[in-house]
Structure formats: C-alpha cells, structure tokens
Amino acid sequence: MAGEVSDAQLRTLGPTGLRVSPLGLGLAALGRPGYINVGHGEDLRGRTDVAAMEQNAHTVLDAAFAGGVRYLDAARSYGLAEAFLASWLERRRLQPSDLTIGSKWGYTYTAGWRVDTATPEVKDLSVATVRRQLAESRALLGPHLRLYQIHSATLESGVLDDAAVLEELALLRAEGVAIGLSVTGPGQAETILRAVTLGAFDSVQATWNLIERSADDALAEAHGAGLGVLVKEALANGRLADRRAPHVLRAAAEERGVTPDALALAAALARPWADVVLSGATTADQLLSNLAALRLDYGDELDHRLATLSEEPAEYWSARAALPWN
C-alpha cells in the first residue's frame, strides 16, 4: 500500500490500543475558509469554494499519508472537514485499521462558509449536543471514528461535572470507541488534572508550544496515569511558523538547515509525555515542511535557549483570542 509505514514507526495511544504516528494532522484549517491561523486566507489564495477546499484537503491528506501520518483529528465545528475526510477515505479505499481517526463534539459551525461573520461557531457542551453531533460524525465516518473527544473542556464549562454527559460518553466507550477531551485556556492544567481523577477518559489533547508551556507538568501526570496525550497548536496558530517566527527560533532553525515550524514541532515531539503532535497544515507544502520535525534531534541545550519564548498563560491566551478569523 502506498504510504505504508512499519509498526516500529507507530505507538499506542494510552490504553486505547489505537496505533498512531508521532506526528498527526489536525483538520481545523482544512474544512472551512475562515480560521485563526496566521495567514490562513493567504494560504488558500482565494480558493475557498467548497470544491476547491475539498480538493486541497485531499491533497494535504495524501501528502500526510504518504509521509507516514496515521492519526487524523477532526471536529464537528471544522466546517466540512469530516465530509472532506469521508470522501478522501472512500477515494483511497482505506479501512479503519489503516489509520486512526478522532473527532470532537461541543462546537457547532455557524459561519455559513463566510469569513466575516462575528460568530463563526457556538459552544454547547450539553448531552443533547453530544448525542446530535455523535450521530452526525458517525453518519460521515462510520467505523473509522475511533476516538471521540469533548471539544475545549474547561472547569468553568461544567462538562466534567455533568452526569448525563459522562454517562453518554461511558456508553460510547463501552461500545469500543475511545473517549478523550481537549482542553483550552489558561486553566488547562487544572482541567487536565480534574479529568485524570475522573477515570472516564482515555486521552487528553492540550495546547503546548514554545510560547505556552503551562500544561507541561499536568500532561506528564496524565501520561503517567495512563492517558494518551495529544498536542495541539504546537505552532501557536502560526506564531511559530515562517511568517511570524521569533528571531531566536528562526536563528536556531537556520543553524540546523530547517524551517522554524519544523523546529517548533520537534520541541513538542521531544516531550516525553507526548504521544501525538498535531500538524495544522493548510497546504501540502506546509505539511512536508512540518514532517522534517521527525528527523531533528532536540536536546536540553536547545530547549534552554528557546525557553525565552515562553509567555505567561494569561498573556498567551489573550493574544490567541485576538487573532482574526482570516
């Protein structure tokens, strides 16, 4: 099979038994014309009609699969990402055993394929939402859906104390679908630790990058407790990629003959608790650049040098909230 990888290149995600690659692909930037990644509109170069975006998504997915990527991460709120993924799976005639697919519930896409709407998505972590969106995801992905995650859980949302939601997820888990959560905001660490105590989750997905390291210890604890750990936003929504890379990162990358994005992803891949680090590539060229991270050595001396990039969580999340949906 084209894109075949050896078992030695894969690892198991926590207690799930699911086989995943160290570098995964998140579909947030592939399924809708507007997103908060820096330069997202430029990446799409005006090719934002549905047919063009589906073709682009397939091109990126092809490049990822050929490069050994075996974990794909979607969500109901990623526009038509699940639909594009489903059509790609059909075209490639892939089976559930060929790769692992996760999706998320909790946000509803409301932008209507526009990039200038004030409310591109609406968050609702109720049991009614998980039931509705699970049915929608399964209608598209069928048995390919192997991991189902709460989207952007926080302590303030109350979702981790919602008995009806937890019961619904437990029923799904009993059917053999792994259950996870993604977390967000300056309180990521506290949410992760709360999730660990519940014993209801197989994995956690959190933001970690060279600017936002606050979840480091909590993710190590989650990993130690047996949960699979997925890293999202390892490029800080483009702040650590070519367009916006800080000087210290750019200089270190140039010394190693790679791009800043590859070095920033290598930093996340080097965390001993990280099972999967997600690329958020919008184009095949970006994906290929990201894949170079797998060939880099990232040691303590370099990590110490790049530690100057770290920001206080409140500062980081405030800057993220100010990023435009372009």
The confidence score (pLDDT) of residue 5 equals 64
CA proximity to 294, closest of 258, 268, 266: 266
DSSP-assigned beta bridge partners for residue 278 = 24
Is this prediction's pTM over 0.95?
A: yes
Give the pLDDT confidence of 72-127 residue by residue, as tens digits: 999 999 999 999 999 999 999 999 999 999 999 999 999 999 999 999 999 999 99
User: What does DSSP say about strands 107-109 and 100-105: parallel, antiparallel, or unpaired?
Assistant: unpaired
| Phi, psi of 104, deg, nearest 5 | -135, 155
Dist CA 70 CA 92 (whole Å): 14
Dist CA 98 CA 103 (whole Å): 17
Confidence of residue 1 (pLDDT cuts 50, 70, 90): very low
Confidence of residue 244 (pLDDT cuts 50, 70, 90): confident
Give the pLDDT confidence of 145-181 residue by residue, as tens digits: 999 999 999 999 999 999 999 999 999 999 999 999 9
Region 131-146 average pLDDT:
98
Asked if pLDDT for residue 242 goes beyond 90, the answer is no
Asked if pLDDT for residue 250 goes beyond 70, the answer is yes
Q: Which amino acid is at 158?
A: G
Cβ neighbour number for residue 176 with a 10 Å cutoff: 10
| Phi, psi of 277, deg, nearest 5 | -115, 125
Dist CA 315 CA 249 (whole Å): 19
Tokens 């060929």 sit on residue: 98
CA proximity to 130, closest of 202, 190, 75: 75
Give the pLDDT confidence of 6-41 residue by residue, as tens digits: 666 899 999 999 999 999 999 999 999 999 999 999
HSE-up (13 A, CA, CB side) for residue 182: 24
Asked if pLDDT for residue 259 goes beyond 90, the answer is yes
How many degrees, rounded to 5, is the angle at CA 160 between CA 209 and CA 278?
Answer: 25
CA proximity to 60, closest of 87, 30, 91: 30
Dist CA 271 CA 241 (whole Å): 19
HSE-up (13 A, CA, CB side) for residue 162: 21
In the chain, domain spans: 23-321
Asked if pLDDT for residue 3 goes beyond 80, the answer is no
Give the pLDDT confidence of 170-219 residue by residue, as tens digits: 999 999 999 999 999 999 999 999 999 999 999 999 999 999 999 999 99
The confidence score (pLDDT) of residue 2 equals 44
**Least confidently predicted of 43-47, 121-125, 136-140:** 43-47
Tokens 């300056």 sit on residue: 186
Region 135-141 average pLDDT:
98
Confidence of residue 326 (pLDDT cuts 50, 70, 90): confident
CATH 3.20.20.100 fits 23-321, yes or no: yes
**Least confidently predicted of 74-78, 240-244, 273-277:** 240-244
HSE-up (13 A, CA, CB side) for residue 104: 29
Asked if pLDDT for residue 233 goes beyond 50, the answer is yes
CA proximity to 147, closest of 54, 271, 274, 17: 17
Asked if pLDDT for residue 48 goes beyond 70, the answer is yes
313 contacts: CB under 8 Å, gap ≥ 6:
186, 188, 212, 214
